[in-house]
């Protein structure tokens, strides 16, 4: 059985090329202690229901699997990188090396516009600064390992394809993402992560999807930011304030990445 952690993207700068191995995103994200597990099966199910999607189908076919049984702790489409997690966990069930499986999952994500940087973050684990847009085997990155517990609340879905599939929007996000990734690297602290994440989200117009929840956390003395891409908020010392917006939960920063369990 393979466990793949959820990926929380804070800042991203998309770059889409003809070669999916050289596509992805520069940016900042981290893995958490919640995610999903996958094991071989004769059919494909997610939390007991027969379900599939293009990214996962791509991996299943290339990895030579009949199907996979996925059990997910978190919803798809809400910014947790679960499509990437499913692809990565499934790829690791095939008969191939660790980094080849990671590249396969990344290519499937990029080709189907379900994600750009999640698989790189989920492959290595921790807080990951992606310094180039590329598949895991070609990735240049810095990693940080913090002992921190985050609070989360999910308020709805955002279609990754709707955001990164539009050329004008993608260029605007790309420019802001490069700037705020560099700003974070100047001072890679938890406080600066929230500052740079919120500055990026505000500059790109994405913050308005969750600004009420972020303001509520800050009014209680906590810090909060937007999970890209979803109507989801991550916070520190924000659990009580987030109750107004849904059912909050806690998860720790995970420093191990995808692994066999």
* pLDDT tens per residue across span 189-213: 999 999 999 999 999 989 998 999 9
pLDDT by residue (tens digit) across 25-53?
Answer: 999 999 999 999 999 999 999 999 999 89
* Lookup: tokens for 164: 């990164």
pLDDT of 160 above 80: no
User: Angle 167-186/190-203 helices, nearest 10 degrees?
Assistant: 160
Q: What is the model's pLDDT at position 129?
A: 98
Mean pLDDT of 82-99: 97
Q: Can you tell me the mean pLDDT for 20-24?
A: 96
Q: What is the pLDDT of residue 229?
A: 84
Per-residue pLDDT band at 171 (split at 50, 70, 90): confident
pLDDT mean across residues, the chain:
95
Name the token pair of 110.
């990029």
**pTM score, two decimals?**
0.95
């Amino acid at each position: 059985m393979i466990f793949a952690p959820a990926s929380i993207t804070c800042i991203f700068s998309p770059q889409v090329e003809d070669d999916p191995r050289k596509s992805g995103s520069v940016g900042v994200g981290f893995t958490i202690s919640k995610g999903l597990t996958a094991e071989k099966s004769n059919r494909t199910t997610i939390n007991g229901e027969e379900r599939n999607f293009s990214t996962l189908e791509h991996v299943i076919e290339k990895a030579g699997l009949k199907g996979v049984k996925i059990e997910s702790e978190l919803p798809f489409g809400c910014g947790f990188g679960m499509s990437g997690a499913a692809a990565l966990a499934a790829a690791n069930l095939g008969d191939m090396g660790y980094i080849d499986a990671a590249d396969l999952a990344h290519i499937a994500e990029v080709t189907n516009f379900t994600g750009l940087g999640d698989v790189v973050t989920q492959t290595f684990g921790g807080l990951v600064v992606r310094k180039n847009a590329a598949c895991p085997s070609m990735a240049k990155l810095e990693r940080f390992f913090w002992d921190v517990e985050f609070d989360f609340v999910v308020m709805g879905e955002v279609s990754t394809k709707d955001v990164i599939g539009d050329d004008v929007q993608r260029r605007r996000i790309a420019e802001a993402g490069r700037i705020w990734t560099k700003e974070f690297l100047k001072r890679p602290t938890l406080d600066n992560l929230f500052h740079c994440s919120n500055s990026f989200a505000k500059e790109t117009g994405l913050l308005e999807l969750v600004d009420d929840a972020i303001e509520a956390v800050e009014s209680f003395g906590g810090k909060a930011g937007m999970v890209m891409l979803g109507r989801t908020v991550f916070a520190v010392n924000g659990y009580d304030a987030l109750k107004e917006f849904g059912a909050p939960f806690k998860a720790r920063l995970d420093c191990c990445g995808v692994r066999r369990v």
